[in-house]
Amino acid sequence: QKEVEQDPGPLSVPEGAIVSLNCTYSNSAFQYFMWYRQYSRKGPELLMYTYSSGNKEDGRFTAQVDKSSKYISLFIRDSQPSDSATYLCAMNPSLNFGNEKLTFGTGTRLTIIP
C-alpha cells in the first residue's frame, strides 16, 4: 500500500463548478500537508499548506484536513479554465522540509470545461 493515495482522474467539470480533490494517507507521522499545482510540462508550484485539522481558505481555494480519518481535500470554488492542471498533494512529518523528504500523491489531472 502506498503511503499516500490520490485518485489520478482525469476529472472534468464545467466552468463555475466546485471541485473537490482528495488524498488519503496511512502514515500517522505526517503532520504537514501541501497542495501543489502543475501545469502541463511545467514544474509544480505550491498552492497551499496546512498543519492542523480543519479548513484553511485562500481566495477560491480551501484546504481541509481530517487527521483522525487520514484524509485531506482541496476545494476550488468558481472554477476557471485556468485551473486546468494536475494537482498534487504532498505530506511531511515535520515543518522542516530540509530535513525530511516530502511524500507526494500521484496527482489528479483536472480539466475545467468553458
Partner 1 sequence: DGGITQSPKYLFRKEGQNVTLSCEQNLNHDAMYWYRQDPGQGLRLIYYSQIVNDFQKGDIAEGYSVSREKKESFPLTVTSAQKNPTAFYLCASSSGGRQFNTEAFFGQGTRLTVV
Residues of this chain, 19-78, that bind partner 1 according to CB under 8 A: 32, 34, 41-46, 49
# residues contacting partner 1 (CB under 8 A): 25
Instruction: Report d(CA 35, CA 107) in Å as an integer.
Output: 10
Minimum gap (Å) between residue 88 Cβ and partner 1: 7
* Nearest CA among 14, 65, 12, 10 for reference residue 35: 65
Instruction: Report d(CA 9, CA 2) in Å as an integer.
Output: 17
Q: Which is nearer to partner 1, 30 or 79 (CB)?
A: 30
The C-alpha angle 86, 46, 11, rounded to 5 degrees, equals 20
Minimum gap (Å) between residue 41 Cβ and partner 1: 7
Which residues of this protein are in contact with partner 1, per CB under 8 A?
4, 6, 8, 32, 34, 41-46, 49, 88, 92, 95-99, 101-102, 104-107
